[in-house]
Amino acid sequence: MRNILQKIKNAVRSRSIHVSYVDVGSCNGCDIEVLACLAPRYDIEQYGIYVHNNPREADVLLVIGSVTPQWVDKLRDIWEKIPEPKVAVAIGNCPISGCVYNRRGTLTTPPVENYIPIAASVPGCPPRPTEILSAILSVAPLIFKDYEENQK
Amino acid sequence: MKKTVDVSIPLGPVHPCWKEPVRLKCETAGERVLRTEVELGYMKKGIERIMRGRPWQEVMFLAERVCGICSVIHNMVFIEAMEEISDIAVPPRAAYLRVVANELDRIASHILANFSYCYTIEHETLAMYLLNTRETVLDNLERLTGSRINTAYMIPGGVRFDLLPEDAAAMLADLSKVEEEMQRHTRIFETGPLIALRSKGIGVMNHEEAIRSHTVGPTARASGVVCDLRLRHPTYRELGFTQVTRTEGDNFARVMVRFQEVFQSIDLIRKCIETLPDGPVRGGGFCKAGETSYAGEAPRGELTYSIKTDDYGRVVDIAIRTPSIMNIEACVHAMIPDATSIADVTATFISSDPCVACNER
């Protein structure tokens, strides 16, 4: 019985991924590349991915930008508000290394991994929309498949 | 103190309508918004602190990453400031190619701003049409510069790449397609009863308020203020640039100014490509010591770089003034209070095209 339930959950989750994005101090470049994924050319919704900015109903959190002082505690709060199962994807160089901002005199404190667990990262300054799309599509099933059974 | 406020409603920093983190605190009496306060500081990265003491070759890439949406104009203003300090002349062909790159970036930025507005008033159909048209524009930017967002196209004394004749022909063909699509989208916005009525007479900022609050760019031009630094730029004057002005000063006017400027930019690019002078695109030169303050017209308004360099071309001191800070303050103090209800706050705020990454750097 549990097995059937898990199979139904797997089938539903593979075609319904809710995405929320949070900008923790980037240059906007990655922001607008995530927005460009919505365009009919890339058509993110044909894969069952819905982008909206509500962490409480999200499955995937896209983290953009190196971490500024204001976000140090707020990023953790947002991560805790997302219901399980959840996954965070770092978009661009900034969350990975700080990119050009990680120099002497900076106010940022990269990487994002110090604050929340990151499952996948898409390097690039900024990455192309197709790369963002394929990262979400490849990482989400790995985490969500058989989630309840793996918890046992 | 007498209590006049019913509820203080916070919007943001993570909000479905904002693309970047910013917080608005609205004090309301019933549906009416009495006072609004903006809270910035979520994106402060300290770029100007990083820039100090670095050679111009590094500052050039940092300057583009002040803002990803209007990165070409940040590049252009920084490079033209360095050229003014060092007396470097630009070859005419390079000056025209700069205008092409800049106007392509402006079209992309204006379409994105109008996309955000349509998305905020929940007219998703038009928003998606606009976003698709923007992809065609970005393709052409990539064709010219090799990159979609952070292009690093301009360098002191010229531009990096020449525009090949076949690329120019393809660009002209794409631009006619963009123009045709944008005419349709403008008609949808202008004549559609649901969208236009939702925008007319909301968030009104009259001429006096626009001047008093020092607004710049399309936000000021929608209130009938004459302010466009392209009127003073030598290359734009050669091309016969005239500014777009509307007098209504409401959300509708601000969005329409951006639509009209897209057509104007398309005409400018056509004129550039048709009258493109022959010659080299890189003149060369040495960056010297000096101090200057140089301004250019970004998609959102006036952008100023004050730079001081030393003998080796290193940036000793730099201060950037970006346009959005004026528009956000004007929006918060002049557009939102009194006239609008709490339901219109997000649409009014987005109509002023706030760019938080620019503001806080």
pLDDT in tens, B59-79: 888 888 888 888 899 999 999
- Flag whether pLDDT at B109 surpasses 70: yes
> Considering the domain boundaries, does residue B225 fall inside one?
yes
Q: Is B342 helix (H, G, I), strand (E, B) or coil?
A: helix
> Considering the domain boundaries, does residue B15 fall inside one?
no
Phi, psi of B293 (to 5 degrees): -130, 120
| pLDDT band, residue B4 (cuts 50/70/90) | low
* Region B256-262 average pLDDT: 90
Whether residues A105 and B49 touch (CB distance < 8 A) is answered with: yes
**Chain A partners within 8 Å of B355 (Cβ):** 28
| pLDDT band, residue B285 (cuts 50/70/90) | confident
Q: Which among B51, B158, B60, B116 has a CA at the least distance from the CA of B251?
A: B116
What residue in B sits closest to A34 (Cα-Cα)? B19
Phi, psi of B29 (to 5 degrees): -125, 105
Whether residues B68 and A105 touch (CB distance < 8 A) is answered with: no
pLDDT in tens, B177-208: 999 999 999 988 888 887 877 888 888 888 88
What is the C-alpha separation between A20 and B209, in angstroms, rounded?
A: 37
| pLDDT band, residue A2 (cuts 50/70/90) | low
> Considering the domain boundaries, does residue B12 fall inside one?
no
How high is the mean pLDDT of chain B? 86
pLDDT in tens, B36-58: 888 888 888 888 888 888 888 88
> Considering the domain boundaries, does residue B27 fall inside one?
no
DSSP H/E element including B9: strand B7-11
**Chain B partners within 8 Å of A109 (Cβ):** none
Q: Does A46 touch chain B (CB under 8 A)?
A: no
**Chain A partners within 8 Å of B135 (Cβ):** 36, 39, 41
Phi, psi of B49 (to 5 degrees): -65, -35
What residue in A sits closest to B66 (Cα-Cα)? A27
- Contact between residue B24 and residue B11 where contact means Cβ atoms under 8 Å apart: yes
HEC readout, chain A: CHHHHHHHHHHHHHCCEEEEEEECCCCCHHHHHHHHCCCCCCCHHHHCEEECCCHHHCCEEEEECCCCCCHHHHHHHHHHHCCCCCEEEEECHHHHHCHHHCCCCCCCCCCHHHCCCCCEEECCCCCCHHHHHHHHHHHHHHHHCCHHHHHC
Per-residue pLDDT, B242: 85
> Considering the domain boundaries, does residue B36 fall inside one?
no
Whether residues B50 and A101 touch (CB distance < 8 A) is answered with: yes
Per-residue pLDDT, B339: 64
Whether residues B46 and A22 touch (CB distance < 8 A) is answered with: no
What residue in A sits closest to B51 (Cα-Cα)? A105
Structure tokens at B163: 């525009």
> Considering the domain boundaries, does residue B75 fall inside one?
yes
Q: Does B152 touch chain A (CB under 8 A)?
A: no
* Region B160-180 average pLDDT: 90
Min Cα separation B133/chain A (Å): 9
Q: Does A5 touch chain B (CB under 8 A)?
A: no
Domains of chain A: 2-147 (3.40.50.12280)
The whole domain housing B222 covers: 46-360
Kindly list the distances between the CA atom of residue A77 and the CA atoms of A22, A116, B22, B279, in Å, as whole numbers in the listed order: 12, 10, 17, 57
How many residues does this entry show for chain B?
Answer: 361
**What pairing do the DSSP bridges indicate for beta strands A120-122 and A87-91?**
parallel
- Flag whether pLDDT at B342 surpasses 70: yes
pLDDT in tens, A106-145: 888 888 888 999 988 899 888 989 998 888 888 887 777 7
Cβ neighbors of A98 (< 8 A, separation 6 or more) are A66, A106, A108, A110, A111
> Considering the domain boundaries, does residue B16 fall inside one?
no
What does the buried/exposed string (b/e) look like for B250-263 if buried means 16 or more CB atoms within 10 Å of the residue's CB? bbbbbbbbbbbbbb
* Region A36-42 average pLDDT: 88
Per-residue pLDDT, B1: 40
> Considering the domain boundaries, does residue B258 fall inside one?
yes
As a whole-number percent, the residues of chain B with pLDDT over 90 amount to 16
- Contact between residue B315 and residue B78 where contact means Cβ atoms under 8 Å apart: no
What residue in A sits closest to B68 (Cα-Cα)? A29
Instruction: Read off the pTM.
Output: 0.90
Per-residue pLDDT, A3: 83
| Residue reference for tokens 């393809």 | B170
Structure tokens at B11: 């919007």
Per-residue pLDDT, B16: 75
- Contact between residue B59 and residue B75 where contact means Cβ atoms under 8 Å apart: no
Min Cα separation B82/chain A (Å): 21
Is the peptide bond between A126 and the residue preceding it cis, with omega within 30 degrees of 0? yes
DSSP H/E element including B155: strand B154-155
How high is the mean pLDDT of chain A? 85
Q: Which among B356, B346, B313, B360 has a CA at the least distance from the CA of B119?
A: B346
* Region B231-244 average pLDDT: 86
Whether residues B15 and A107 touch (CB distance < 8 A) is answered with: no
Per-residue pLDDT, B71: 87
**Chain B partners within 8 Å of A106 (Cβ):** 45-46, 49-50
DSSP state of B89: P
CATH code (residue B69): 1.10.645.10
Q: Does A35 touch chain B (CB under 8 A)?
A: yes
Min Cα separation B123/chain A (Å): 14
Per-residue pLDDT, B178: 92
Q: Which class for B243: exposed (0-12), middle (13-18), buried (19 or more C-beta within 10 A)?
A: middle
Whether residues B134 and A103 touch (CB distance < 8 A) is answered with: no
Kindly list the distances between the CA atom of residue A78 and the CA atoms of A22, A31, A111, A144, in Å, as whole numbers in the listed order: 9, 18, 17, 20
Residue of A28, A105, A125 lying closest to B50 (CB–CB): A105
What residue in A sits closest to B120 (Cα-Cα)? A52
Whether residues B49 and A107 touch (CB distance < 8 A) is answered with: yes
More confident residue, A140 or B252: B252
Edge-to-edge strand order for the sheet containing B290-298?
A: B54-55, B314-321, B301-309, B290-298
Min Cα separation B184/chain A (Å): 17
In chain B, the number of structural domains is 1
What is the C-alpha separation between B188 and B256, in angstroms, rounded?
A: 12
Q: Does B66 touch chain A (CB under 8 A)?
A: yes
Per-residue pLDDT, B344: 83
Phi, psi of A140 (to 5 degrees): -60, -50
Q: Does A120 touch chain B (CB under 8 A)?
A: no
Positive or negative torsion for Cα B319, B138, B114, A57: negative
Is the peptide bond between B13 and the residue preceding it cis, with omega within 30 degrees of 0? yes
Lowest mean pLDDT among B247-261, B299-313, B330-344: B330-344
Q: Does A73 touch chain B (CB under 8 A)?
A: no
What residue in B sits closest to A108 (Cα-Cα)? B45
Whether residues B68 and A30 touch (CB distance < 8 A) is answered with: yes
